[in-house]
Homo-oligomer: A and B are copies of this chain.
Amino acid sequence: MTVQTENVPDRTAFARVYAEVQQFYAWHMHLLDSGAAREWADTFTPDGVFAPPSAPRPIVGRDALAAGAEQAHAELRRKGEQHRHLLLSVNVRPQDDGSLTVRSYAQIVATPRDGEPRLHLMCVTHDVLVRGADGQLLVRHRRVTRDDRA
């Protein structure tokens, strides 16, 4: 392919990290949606921050993140509703300090038992991802804005 002439090592490095972010997001959100709250919290750094649009203040640290996810999942089970979080249209900007600034469009799809799925929320997610001791991506900071409150 004649388009592949410039900065091939850099562009290969970008392809690696881009695939890795998408793979990470798929795994991360499947944990949340399947109710694996503790495992989901462990995909944040120990001091990870999640600033959701509906909470009065950011949620900080894995214990608080796990507790929040567990409570949200329990409510969905009571309602008989399955939620799916999809992080799409991913834009990854590697930073000089090795972190990744990632912006994505987030769809939350809600499906009641025996009912029709609906697009529950449309959001924009702003993440800072870093690497843990084993090289694994972790969320250090997440800020989410809702399109209905923009």
Interface residues of A (CB under 8 A from B): 1-8, 10-20, 22-23, 25-27, 29-30, 82, 84, 86-92, 94, 96-100, 103-105, 107, 109, 111-122, 131, 135, 147-150
Asked whether B11 lies within 8 Å of A20 as measured between CB atoms, the reply is yes
Copies in the complex: 3
List, in ascending order, chain B residues with CB within 8 A of A87's CB. Answer: 89
Minimum C-beta distance from A64 to chain B (A) = 25
Cα A78 to Cα B131 with chains together (Å): 43
List, in ascending order, chain B residues with CB within 8 A of A8's CB. Answer: 16
List, in ascending order, chain B residues with CB within 8 A of A14's CB. Answer: 1, 16, 19-20, 23
Q: Pull 19 A–B residue pairs with CB atoms less than 8 Å apart, ordered by A.
A: A1-B13, A1-B94, A2-B96, A3-B100, A3-B131, A12-B15, A12-B16, A18-B23, A25-B89, A26-B91, A30-B89, A82-B147, A84-B147, A86-B105, A87-B89, A109-B122, A111-B150, A117-B119, A117-B121
Cα A8 to Cα B104 with chains together (Å): 25
Minimum C-beta distance from A30 to chain B (A) = 7
Asked whether A88 lies within 8 Å of B91 as measured between CB atoms, the reply is no
Asked whether A150 lies within 8 Å of B16 as measured between CB atoms, the reply is no
Partner of A7, one of B2, B96, B105, B135: B135
Closest to A25 in B: B89
Partner of A89, one of B18, B86, B92, B118: B86
Q: Assess A148 versus B94: contact at CB under 8 Å? Given A14-B16, A15-B18, A18-B19.
A: no
